[in-house]
């Protein structure tokens, strides 16, 4: 297991992060994603720790708070020293009825951070993330609330999730101008079968020194190796077809991954995760599992290596179609002999 700096912050995190969205589900959407209860979750957390993972991600909305409760109890049950782990959680989604029961307002953030701390049985959260963009609340209000939590010591670092490039950039600028705690990370969807992030978000993250945490790196199971043109195997996508995937291009990617899998003796999932670990913008890849064998397979991604030719082949089959203004920026980038001209 390797460790990376999270953006420009001083926080060091494992290249794989254990996601806990599969913890605590009972009915409805959360039940389809995962129904792991305490004993099963303890086993996955222990396996992750034994593999060198120090980074754990959850959210207040996962299973209506039960995911946080189970993760916090697992750390207690396993006798984990607080300073040895990095705990990330999120706020935005609806936690109670009424107009103020969701969002990124100061009131909702301050209410929910207390609730998350109680469920996690912690005195501070290492990385507190806004789970999506709240069109109602001014970004200034959200950042002021987060900064107050950092100053109080109940939150160490702040992050965002599922924000557009311009939204992140606006938050980065406001935080810098007002002396607020900086944005350490963005949690976003990114896979070899869905490289949309590379159009605007990845260049912005590199420019501003914001770390990238990847969610659903196997595209909701699409890159698990069970899905081919010939037929789709059983799995989460059968009842919860998310996130969206351009399946024709995705199957082209899977074809190459399956061929490389046979040649390298590593699973399709390991290769898909390994590709992400080779992307310079990525700080940590969030892996989740319903079973110990799934997690064990995912953990093997840290041993994946690619030749230059293999990476070029994967890039060619998964490359995004050209889109304006990207193709114009690339065309004009060579006028002064800049980076675009030297590629």
**Catalytic amino acids?**
62
Would you call the peptide bond into 325 cis, given omega within 30 degrees of 0 as the criterion?
Answer: yes
Residue 194 DSSP SS3: strand
57, 16 in Cβ contact below 8 A? no
HSE of 58 in the Cβ direction (CA atoms, 13 Å)? 31
d(CA 17, CA 126): 14
Name 237's Cβ contacts closer than 8 Å, sequence gap at least 6: 220, 221, 222, 227
Residue closest to 49 by CA, chosen among 6, 13, 87, 85: 85
285: nearest Cα among 48, 90, 125: 48
Q: What is the DSSP letter of 20?
A: -
- In terms of Cβ atoms closer than 10 Å to its own Cβ (0-12, 13-18, 19+), residue 297 is buried
CA-CA distances (angstroms) from residue 226 to 202, 230, 232, 234, 254?
A: 29, 10, 6, 8, 10
The rounded distance, in Å, linking the Cα atoms of 162 and 93 is: 13
Residue 11, CA distances (Å) to 18, 45, 127, 336 in order? 17, 21, 9, 37
Phi, psi of 86 (to 5 degrees): -110, 120
Backbone phi and psi for residue 88, each to the nearest 5 degrees, phi listed first: -115, 135
* Cα separation, 46 vs 332, whole angstroms: 52
C-alpha span between 117 and 99 (Å, rounded): 23
32 token code pair? 């389809």
């Amino acid at each position: 297991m390797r460790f990376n700096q999270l953006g420009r912050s001083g926080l060091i995190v494992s290249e794989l992060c254990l996601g806990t969205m599969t913890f605590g589900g009972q009915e409805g959407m959360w039940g389809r994603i995962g129904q792991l209860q305490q004993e099963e979750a303890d086993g996955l957390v222990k396996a992750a720790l034994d593999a060198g993972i120090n980074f754990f991600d959850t959210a207040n909305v996962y299973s209506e708070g039960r995911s946080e409760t189970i993760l916090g109890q697992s750390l207690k049950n396993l006798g984990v020293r607080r300073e040895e782990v990095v705990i990330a959680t999120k706020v935005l989604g609806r936690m109670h009825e009424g107009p103020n029961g969701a969002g990124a307002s100061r009131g909702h953030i301050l209410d929910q951070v207390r609730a998350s701390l109680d469920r996690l049985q912690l005195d501070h959260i290492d990385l507190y993330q806004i789970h999506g963009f709240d069109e109602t609340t001014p970004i200034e209000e959200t950042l002021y609330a987060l900064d107050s939590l950092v100053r109080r010591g109940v939150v160490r670092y702040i992050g965002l999730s599922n924000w557009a490039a311009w939204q992140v950039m606006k938050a980065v600028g406001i935080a810098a101008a007002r002396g607020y705690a900086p944005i350490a990370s963005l949690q976003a969807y990114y896979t070899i079968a869905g490289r949309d992030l590379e159009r605007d978000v990845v260049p912005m993250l590199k420019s501003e020194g914001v770390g990238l945490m990847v969610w659903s790196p196997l595209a909701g199971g699409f890159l698990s190796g069970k899905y081919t043109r010939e037929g789709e195997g059983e799995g989460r996508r059968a009842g919860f077809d998310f996130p969206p995937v351009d399946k024709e291009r995705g199957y082209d990617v899977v074809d190459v991954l399956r061929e490389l899998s046979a040649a390298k003796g590593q699973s399709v999932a390991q290769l898909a995760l390994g590709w992400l670990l080779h992307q310079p913008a990525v700080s940590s890849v969030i892996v989740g599992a319903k079973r110990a064998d799934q997690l064990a397979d995912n953990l093997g991604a840290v041993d994946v290596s690619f030749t230059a030719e293999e990476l070029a082949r994967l890039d060619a089959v998964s490359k995004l179609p050209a889109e304006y203004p990207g193709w114009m920026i690339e065309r004009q980038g060579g006028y002064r002999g800049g980076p675009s001209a030297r590629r």
